[in-house]
């Protein structure tokens, strides 16, 4: 089996990178990580890549005069490593339009909400503020506008009474670590494709609809 060659872009902690590294260890997994690029020097994600003996490079955006020049350097590194498919995993820079076009339908991102709800930063605080009872995470193909693009897979988690940003973030992050390897498998194995601007399965599955989980605050006794 020829494995799909993955590049991962990070800016920090790298826990989603670690989830992908672990998934790629299985001989039956259809992808292998061939390069990790961080735009921030010295971050934990780089150490995780090195521990896993994956080539890792720092391309510091501060060393470049423009976004175009930075993106060209990242692109050059990805091409040199013969990357087929790119995964953003906590990468905190906006891409130029040209970069996005270059990786069209070959570029994934993970975001800690059920997109299209709550794109952008400070997601969990805004989820709590809005009082919604379900949150979650989304893996989608990258488009020029931040946190938009065809949705590949999503996971839902409950928002619980008394949640803080931090514990909601932790619950969502645990779901992210399961979701990203799943979504990458779907794309790398060719099980899904983009049709129009939605992601469809190549083989229609006639499963019964799964039982819908319901999320609401606990009811008072007697109701
Ligand atoms: C994750 O919550 C991801 O959804 C968001 O940034 C965070 C990155 O965390 N885009 P990590 O670096 O993967 O630990």
* pLDDT value for 192: 96
pLDDT confidence band for 208 (50 / 70 / 90): low
* Calpha distance 209→216 (Å, rounded): 21
* Calpha distance 181→152 (Å, rounded): 12
Q: Is the CB of 136 under 6 A from ligand 1?
A: no
* Calpha distance 171→29 (Å, rounded): 25
Least confident stretch, 18-27, 51-60, 190-199, 200-209? 200-209
* pLDDT value for 85: 98
Taking the centre of ligand 1 as the mean of its atom positions, its distance from the CA of residue 66, in whole angstroms, is 25
Q: Is the CB of 13 under 6 A from ligand 1?
A: yes
**Phi, psi at residue 91, to the nearest 5°?**
-90, 120
223 has pLDDT over 60: no
pLDDT confidence band for 212 (50 / 70 / 90): confident
Q: Which atom of ligand 1 is nearest to the CA of 111?
A: 4
What pLDDT digit, counting tens, does each position of 53-91 carry?
Answer: 999 999 999 999 999 999 999 999 999 999 999 999 999
177 has pLDDT over 70: yes
CB 71 within 8 A of CB 103: no
Q: Is the CB of 140 under 6 A from ligand 1?
A: no
Which of the residues are catalytic?
A: 111
3-state DSSP of 139-197: EEECCCCCCCCCEEEEEEEECCCCCCHHHHHHHHHHHHHHHHHHHHHHHHCCCEEEECC
31 has pLDDT over 70: yes
pLDDT confidence band for 205 (50 / 70 / 90): low
> What does pTM read for this prediction?
0.94
Computed over every residue of the chain, the mean pLDDT equals 95
């Amino acid at each position: 089996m020829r494995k799909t060659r993955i590049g991962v872009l990070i800016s920090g902690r790298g826990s989603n990178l670690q989830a992908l590294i672990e998934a790629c260890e299985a001989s039956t997994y259809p992808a292998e990580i061939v390069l990790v690029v961080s735009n921030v020097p010295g971050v934990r994600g780089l150490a995780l890549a090195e521990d896993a003996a994956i080539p890792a490079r720092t391309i510091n955006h501060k060393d470049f005069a423009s976004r175009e020049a930075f993106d060209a350097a990242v692109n050059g590194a990805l091409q040199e490593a013969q990357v087929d498919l790119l995964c953003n995993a906590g990468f905190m820079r906006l891409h130029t339009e040209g970069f996005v076009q270059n990786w069209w339908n070959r570029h994934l991102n993970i975001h800690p909400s059920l997109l299209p709800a709550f794109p952008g930063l400070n997601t969990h605080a805004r989820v709590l503020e809005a009082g919604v009872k379900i949150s979650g995470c989304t893996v989608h193909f990258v488009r020029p506008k931040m946190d938009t693009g065809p949705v590949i897979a999503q996971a839902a988690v409950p928002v619980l009474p008394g949640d803080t940003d931090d514990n909601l973030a932790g619950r969502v992050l645990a779901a992210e670590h399961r979701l990203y390897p799943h979504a990458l498998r779907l794309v790398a194995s060719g099980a899904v494709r983009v049709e129009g601007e939605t992601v469809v399965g190549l083989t229609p599955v006639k499963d019964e609809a799964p039982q819908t989980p319901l999320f609401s605050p606990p009811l008072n006794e007697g109701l």
